[in-house]
């Protein structure tokens, strides 16, 4: 993993997108995440589209504050569209957005392999944070399977393989 020097960090490109991309891509991810499991089967629960979108925009923008806000907003809206207590996904995705953007400042995240690996690892972190909040903070019972969460992280990385290059084409070129 390439670590950037102080000079190259200052010169690093921060990617910009049209306003409609910032609005429609997260909205589409939320709608699909809430709608597909009800329409088809629980197989779509193996993916977390709002998480993948949070990771992508956080890595691209390289702003921890913006990454945390996007993660918080997507997580809270995802909670509102599901049967879960409000705030569980908000906390997990806020942490993921902040960490993704923070890592984007320090390492070369334009490398596709690094972005996939970070998506996989941040997905596992989101699952761990979800478990922590659900079980330890709220004290609620939860049926948990780490194999399922590992497969979900692989599914998120697989979605990133398709989604990241498509979103890269929407960047505003200077």
Whether pLDDT at 172 is above 80: no
Give residue 143's pLDDT: 83
Q: Quote the pTM value.
A: 0.87
Over residues 131-161, the pLDDT tens digits come to: 999 999 988 888 888 898 999 999 999 999 9
Q: CB of 92 within 8 A of CB of 122? A: no
| Average pLDDT for 44-60 | 88
Q: Tell me the pLDDT band of 7, cut-offs 50, 70 and 90.
A: very low
Report residue 85 CA to chain centroid gap. Answer: 19
- As given in the structure block, the two tokens for residue 171 are 């960047």
- Indicate left, alpha or beta for 87 from its phi (over 0: left) and psi (-120 to 50: alpha): left
How many angstroms separate the CA atoms of 93 and 76, rounded? 9
Over residues 75-84, the pLDDT tens digits come to: 999 999 887 8
């Amino acid at each position: 993993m390439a670590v950037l020097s102080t000079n190259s960090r200052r010169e690093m490109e921060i990617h910009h997108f049209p306003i409609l991309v910032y609005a429609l891509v997260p909205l589409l991810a939320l709608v699909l995440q809430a709608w597909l499991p009800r329409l088809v089967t629980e197989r779509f629960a193996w993916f977390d589209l709002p998480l993948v979108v949070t990771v992508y925009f956080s890595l691209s923008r390289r702003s921890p504050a913006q990454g945390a806000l996007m993660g918080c907003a997507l997580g809270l809206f995802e909670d509102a569209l599901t049967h879960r207590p409000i705030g569980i996904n908000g906390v997990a995705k806020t942490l993921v957005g902040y960490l993704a953007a923070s890592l984007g400042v320090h390492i070369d995240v334009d490398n596709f392999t690094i972005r996939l690996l970070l998506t996989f690892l941040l997905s596992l972190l989101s699952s761990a944070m979800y478990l922590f909040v659900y079980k330890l903070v709220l004290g609620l019972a939860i049926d948990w399977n780490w194999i399922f969460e590992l497969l979900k992280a692989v599914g998120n990385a697989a979605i990133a393989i398709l989604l990241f290059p498509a979103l890269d084409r929407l960047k505003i070129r200077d």
